[in-house]
């Protein structure tokens, strides 16, 4: 199916499968995939490794602000798909750790961090033909995105998915901790002052608690055909 050069924004709660879905959309329609959460995670890892977050979780905002000017955070597209790098170092595994997950919400609530990430997303989207996943893509970063999806699922289902993902990567998480982290992030992401997670009124809602990936893909194909008047 041929589709026009558009921006697709996939927003929603943590672990709703936004990135897996967005990656499949990118593959199916030959689009560039941008993982905005990975950029927030990259900034968080960078701040942690450079002593800008103390044991109590307090962020040294002045140092971080200054350091961001030099931070070379980018994506490389390899056979493993989109990989996040700082300079020449692949940080894809580190940014998915529990340490980063526990600290990423407060870091992503900082206004200058959001500007840093938004600028990167805009730079990478000049040619359009991109699918992006995040929390505020359809509301703040690209309010004019041609297609907006808002993903949701029950927190139990989401915690199980995140737990399985971590186990598959060789971690040994405790399910209750993962569930707690998901609930805390839901709260923080939806209640922060700067671009909180909200559903754009023109977004199409996808609750995938009980859906397979194939069903999700059938859903989006039908949606794209309907929205852009493409014959199947
Ligand atoms: O999608 P994720 O779990 O990798 O995102 C990590 C964190 O980054 C999440 O807790 C909220 C934040 N985030 C955000 O505030 N805005 C985005 N567009 C993407 C992620």
Per-residue pLDDT tens digits for 6-40:
999 999 998 899 999 999 999 999 999 999 999 99
Compute, in angstroms, the gap from residue 153 CA to the centroid of ligand 1. Answer: 16
Compute, in angstroms, the gap from residue 170 CA to the centroid of ligand 1. Answer: 23
How large is the average pLDDT for residues 178-206?
A: 92
Residue with CA at minimum distance from ligand 1 atom 5: 37
pLDDT beyond 80 at 232: no
pLDDT of residue 192: 85
Question: Does residue 104 have its Cβ closer than 6 Å to ligand 1?
Answer: yes
Closest atom of ligand 1 to 105 CA is: 10
pLDDT beyond 70 at 188: yes
E strands, 95-146, are 130-134
Question: Does residue 14 have its Cβ closer than 6 Å to ligand 1?
Answer: yes
pTM over 0.85: yes
Compute, in angstroms, the gap from residue 57 CA to the centroid of ligand 1. Answer: 18
* Residues 6 or more apart whose Cβ sits within 8 Å of residue 175: 159, 160, 163
Phi, psi of 32 (to 5 degrees): -85, 135
CA distances from 67 to 62, 70, 94, 113 (A): 9, 6, 20, 11
pLDDT of residue 87: 97
Q: What is the mean pLDDT of the chain?
A: 94
Residue with CA at minimum distance from ligand 1 atom 3: 14
Phi, psi of 113 (to 5 degrees): -70, -40
Q: What is the pLDDT of residues 129-147, one digit of tens each?
A: 999 999 999 999 999 999 9
pLDDT of residue 144: 96
| 215, 220, 225, 226: CA torsion to nearest 10 | 100
Least confident of 70-79, 146-155, 184-193: 184-193
């Amino acid at each position: 199916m041929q589709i026009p050069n558009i921006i697709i924004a996939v927003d929603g709660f943590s672990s709703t499968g936004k990135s897996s879905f967005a990656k499949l959309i990118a593959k199916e329609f030959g689009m560039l995939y941008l993982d905005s959460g990975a950029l927030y995670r990259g900034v968080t890892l960078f701040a942690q490794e450079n002593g800008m977050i103390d044991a109590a979780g307090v962020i040294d905002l002045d140092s971080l602000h200054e350091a961001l000017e030099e931070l070379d955070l980018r994506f490389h597209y390899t056979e493993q798909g989109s990989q996040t790098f700082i300079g020449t170092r692949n940080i894809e595994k580190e940014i998915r750790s529990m340490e980063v997950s526990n600290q990423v919400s407060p870091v992503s609530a900082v206004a200058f961090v959001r500007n840093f990430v938004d600028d990167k997303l805009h730079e990478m989207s000049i040619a359009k033909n991109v699918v992006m996943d995040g929390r505020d893509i359809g509301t703040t970063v690209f309010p004019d995105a041609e297609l907006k999806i808002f993903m949701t699922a029950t927190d139990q289902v989401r915690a199980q998915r995140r737990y399985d993902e971590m186990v598959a990567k060789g971690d040994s998480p405790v399910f209750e901790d993962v569930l707690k982290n998901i609930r805390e992030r839901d709260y923080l992401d939806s209640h922060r002052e700067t671009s909180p997670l909200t559903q754009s009124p023109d977004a199409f809602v996808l609750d995938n608690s009980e859906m397979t990936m194939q069903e999700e893909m059938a859903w989006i194909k039908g949606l794209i055909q309907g929205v852009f008047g493409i014959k199947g």
